[in-house]
Structure 1
Amino acid sequence: MPPIDTDLLALLEERGFVHQHTDADGLRAAFARGPLTAYLGFDATADSLHVGHLQGLMLMRWLQHAGHKPLLLIGGATTRIGDPSFRDSSRPMLDDATIAANMRGIESAFRRYLRLGDGASDAQVVDNADWLDGLGYLEFLNRVGRHFSVNRLLTFDAVRSRLEHSLSFQEFGYTLLQAYDFTELARRHGCTLQIGGADQWANIINGVELSRRQDGPQLYGLTMPLLTTSDGRKMGKSAQGAVWLNAERLAPFDFWQFWRNCDDRDVGRFLALFSELPMAEVRRLGALQGAELNEAKIVLANEATRLGHGEAAAQAAANAARGVFDGAAGLDGLPTLHLAPARLAAGVSLAELAVEAGLAASRSAARRLAAGGGLRLDGVAVSDAEQPLDGTSGEWRLSAGRKQHVRIALAR
């Protein structure tokens, strides 16, 4: 990462991280006085974060590099409620064991992007169950509820959008719980900045306002733009599903491929947000046209994968991609499906393997893929998906179209 020798807020704005802030001059002065403590919150709804969360992690990474301290809050308590902001329905309820497992998976992603520890600018992971689980209802109403007007809360778009469907009293209280989180983190950790997506604006300013009404410290809020790809998809989603950050959920090769296959219009924007290249280089790469833009996409894929999975994984993914498209034999970087020799001997079908490898949703879908010329084995189109896998090489490449590839290897 290049040294930060300029106005930090201006740098974040230039790279595309900033949508709104509660007090630009005050925040800029707070950065200059530094170091400050900032927090970013996640509810534990899955055992991995996805690319849609990566914008916030990268912003926190820039803050840490500038000497500020990131707090990463996992909502062990608020996950049991679910943020209703701009959602059409309630989230499914999760049990405590599932929430605990999800929290462990999420923390593993933190460790790849941020330095965790006990140092002045080391990131810390906190759980709001530590203070919310022991908070009585009447105590909460006295500490928090009396400072907010229901009339005002109903004016927020995040709340009004749910009133068209159904909003439980439990969910309605979520914004007050998040406001209380902010003031509690200020009290416990000296945290003065909350970061969130644009949909969190109302929740963030409620925390700033709560601190003011309680005669607490001056707090600041900063929101990031809600990202969508230029072809209209929500960031973090692909045609094949969520683009997970944990390798257990999504192989590094598929992660690399997501960036390599991004829309041409997104290359410059994604390089600014999801790499640490200097902005002069980002602008140069983003301005490339035609075949040269493909090279910029490879730079993006390499940089994003290096940050998320390490240098070796990024290099292996790039080498595997070259092998796929150049016809080279090396497939080590591809996602691997291990096949027992007994299944090979019994005549396992390509359709069955396509389903197991996630290349097709069902055997009938695999048959349709083959009929359309989209199912390939070692680069050769397969007309009958029900044909058995054969051969003695012990290693095959099964492909769905040009962008999805899996290495099938005999288990040893």
Structure 2
Amino acid sequence: MDFFRELQGRGLIYQHTDEKALCKRLEAGPITLYCGFDPTADSLHIGHLLPLLILRRFQLAGHKPIALVGGGTGLIGDPSGKVSERTLNPKEVVQQWAQKIKNQLERFLDFETGVNPAILANNYEWLGSLQVIEFLRDIGKNFPLGAMLAKDAVETRMSKGISFTEFSYMILQSYDFLKLNEMYGCEMQVGGSDQWGNITSGIELIRRTSVDQAKEMHGLTMPLVTKSDGTKFGKTEAGAVWLDPEKMSPYKFYQFWMNTDDRDVVKFLKYFTFISLDEIAVLAGGVEKEPEKRRAQRILATEVTKLVHGQDALERAEKISSALFGGGLKDLSATEIEDGFSDVPSATIENLEITLVDMLIQAGAVSSKRQAREAIENGSIYINDIRHTNVETAVSQLERLAEKYLVVRRGKKNYYLIKLEN
């Protein structure tokens, strides 16, 4: 299967310029392509993962990717997909975020070795020194106002209002494509489906300003990632799913993928892993016949966590998962316990001579002493995976995890974390 058909088979192509011309160009030899990543936060999130992996797929196929950090466009704000004006961040903050994003990009692309090392660029290099009169005369004149107003990103914002600042974003992104074409011979831009208008504007700008009118540029967009249950992909109760382990631990990242709906897991395997389509077809059969085993989800979680966080982080995430869902809490370190139970109710207890009854109340596991006694006596209280049925047991008699923690479970699913302080 050729590379373009591989992308189609994975459902990764939403829109593209002339298919015949693009396939012919890809078959002719390596192509240089780019995708931009604006620093709108101090980390990328999984909404960026699909375009990141597209660049990686192109590089593995022998092409030359450019990862463009939007140090300049990040100061402006892309109106695409937004219903209201973005908050403009200070220049110093955007520069700090740009550096952090550069560091993250290096985990996905090879910028140093091989015959086609990726290029890391920052558009502040050319946008930061623009002269406004020169830019308006040489670049702005190539953008008919009617065509700009007809672009989806602009049209959908007209009723809500859009500033000239965000309205100009399309011109700046188009200029990026032009500069990358001049500097590196970049012939194609890729991005999310909301970037189609910006991509085609860049192609048109290059056509209008090039002395070679036969020069052919290409564009390709990926589909918007959606979930079958109607909820937004990449969001949890705690917020966005970040790629930075300081903002979201590898364990929680792993669990996000483990919790993928059966209706979505095959699609996500095609999108976010490099497992062959034949292997994914086998996993799809398992989802149909033995969904309770969740083998497809486990492989999805394993592959994406290893890709984003590395083998060591994956092993720690698997260790925590195994301990939480299969026993083995004693093997966890303090950090692993805090990580695994960071989203459950917690309490700190200093008086270790209180009984289990009072401990359960302080932890919020029960609302009264009567309810606590009933829960203990009927065998529904587990502490560190051990059932306790004696209401008179003192906290000081319990074995601690990592010298200071108790993991309380009421019933099958209700967990509480207690930290003991002498």
Q: 1:250 to 1:145 in 2, by over 3 A?
A: same
Matched, 1:249 2:251: no
- Structure 2 counterpart of 1:164: 159
Q: Any stretches of 5+ residues in structure 1 without a counterpart?
A: 1-5, 349-363, 382-387
The structure whose Rg is larger is 2
What amino acid does structure 1 have at the position aligned with 2:328?
A
**Amino acid of the residue matched to residue 168 of structure 2?**
G
Contact 1:286 1:293 (C-alpha < 8 Å) held by counterparts: no
2:32 matches 1:37: yes
Alpha carbons of structure 1 residues 135 and 405: separation in structure 2 relative to 1, 3 Å: farther
SS state of the match for residue 113, structure 1?
coil
Letter of the 1:313 partner, please give it. Answer: A
Aligned residues: 381
Shift of 1:103: 1.4
What is the Cα deviation at residue 108 of structure 1?
Answer: 2.3
The residue identity in structure 2 corresponding to 1:265 is R
Note the alpha carbon deviations across 1:204-260, whole angstroms, 9 max, x for none: 000011111112532110000011222223322123211111111111100100000
CA offsets 1:270-326 (integer angstroms, 9 cap, x no match): 111111111011111123234455121111111111111112221221222121111
Q: Report the alpha carbon displacement of residue 74 of structure 1 after superposing the two structures with TM.
A: 0.9
Distance 1:46 1:140 in 2: 28
> Cα 1:62–1:139, aligned 2, differ >3 Å: closer, same or farther?
same
TM-score normalised by structure 1 residue count: 0.83
5 Å-filtered alignment, 1:1-400, equals: 6-117=1-112, 120-215=115-210, 217-288=215-286, 289=288, 290-329=290-329, 330-332=331-333, 334=336, 336=338, 346=350, 378=384, 392-393=400-401, 394-396=403-405
CA distance in 2, matches of 1:113, 1:404: 38
1:345-384: CA deviation from partner (whole Å, max 9, x where unpaired): 8569xxxxxxxxxxxxxxx9x95x87699x9974689xxx
Matched with 1:385 is none
In the aligned structure 2, how far is the partner of 1:136 from the partner of 1:370?
67
CA–CA distance in structure 2, aligned partners of residues 91 and 327 of structure 1: 47
Equivalent-residue separation in structure 1 for 2:141 and 2:185 (angstroms): 24
- Residue in 2 aligned with 1:357? none
Partner of 2:68, secondary structure, is: strand
Deviation larger for 193-202 or 229-238: 229-238
Shift in Å at residue 86 of structure 1? 2.8
Distance 2:324 2:10 in 1: 33
**Within 2, Cα distance between the matches of 1:67 and 1:54?**
20
> Does the 8 A contact of 1:19 with 1:222 survive in 2?
yes
**Residues 183-203 of structure 1, C-alpha deviation per residue, up to 9 Å, x if partnerless?**
110001111110010000000
Distance 1:72 1:409 in 2: 45
8 Å contact 1:302–1:315 — kept in the other structure? Answer: no
- Which 5+ residue runs of structure 2 have no aligned equivalent? 341-346, 353-361, 376-380, 388-394
SS in 2 for 1:162: coil
2:72 touches 2:127 (CA, 8 Å); kept in 1? yes
Counterpart Cα distance in 1 of 2:409 and 2:228: 24
Partner-residue secondary structure (3-state), 2:65: strand
Cα pair distance change 1:243/1:335, threshold 3 Å: farther
Q: Which amino acid aligns with 2:8?
A: E
Q: Distance in 2 between matches of 1:80 and 1:400?
A: 48
Report deviation, 1:155: 1.2
User: Which deviates more from structure 2 when the two are superposed, residues 108-117 or residues 14-23?
Assistant: 108-117
Residue aligning to 1:352: none
Deviation at 1:119, TM superposition (A): 5.4
- Amino acid aligned to 2:297: K
Identity of aligned residues (%): 38
Q: 1:120 to 1:346 in 2, by over 3 A?
A: same
Secondary structure of 2:195 counterpart? helix
- Kindly state the Cα deviation for residue 149 of structure 1 after the two structures are TM-superposed: 1.1
Change (3 A) 1:29 1:322: same
**Contact 1:245 / 1:308 at 8 angstroms: preserved in 2?**
yes
